[in-house]
Amino acid sequence: MHLPLYIAPLAILAALLYIGMSYQLWYIPAFLLGLLLVHFLYRKLGPKKTFALLLILYALGAIETYHAYLPPSLLTDWYDAYAKLFFTSRNGFFYTPIFIYLGYFLADYGQIAIFQKKRWLSLLLASLFLVGEGVLVYMRQGLDKNFFFALIPFTLFLFNWLLKTQWKHEKNWRHLKDLSILYFFLHPIFIELSFFLLKSQQLTKWENGRWAFLLTIILTHLTSELVIRWRGKG
């Protein structure tokens, strides 16, 4: 898309503060904005009112995911107009604040009974809820698939379980941490490379996507391992 030169500063500002410099880097400005919002609301309103407000914002953002289930209304008209200007609600205003809030909540209330007893059961139930919602969203896909209400309790109980489980202390997980960072930054390269390599093949859309997924995983992992070994020799 060609933009006039005088728009460039605004585009750079939007990239830094809203969508990120690359599509997979959206979470950096989203995290920073969400953190500021949660920090302000948590101090001013307290945990209960903050949670209610953030849940409302998340529900408004979820219109993109549940758009196919919603009849035409002022809400859908509002979201359509919003999306034309801001592209997505997966940002630091609608999406990330509720998850940042969970960290605040666990820090203050992590010792209550629900977070201490049968942690695996809470995580299992939240996982089943997430799978069920995933099926529901898959059956009638909206404009995008970012907002899952079940992701909120799933994230809460998963994070709580990880914080309190003992096995994570029994092994050095640094290698997995390094891999995860490299996966994140390298995978877009291999997504595009995979589609380029498969362009000449006579594949259905499903087959093309499946092979691209497989190639991306393999190439990303191998390259990440090579980078880690190269760093180790340096």
CA 210 vs. chain centroid, Å, equals 22
The one-digit pLDDT tens for each residue of the chain (234 residues) are 555 666 667 766 766 666 666 666 788 888 999 999 999 999 999 999 999 999 999 999 999 999 999 999 999 999 999 888 888 889 899 999 999 999 999 998 888 888 888 888 999 999 999 999 999 999 998 888 999 999 999 999 999 998 887 776 667 778 888 999 999 889 988 998 999 999 888 888 888 889 999 999 999 999 999 999 998 876
User: Which tokens in the block code for residue 165?
Assistant: 């489980």
Alpha-carbon span 55 to 65, nearest angstrom: 15
Domain boundaries, the chain: 5-169, 174-233
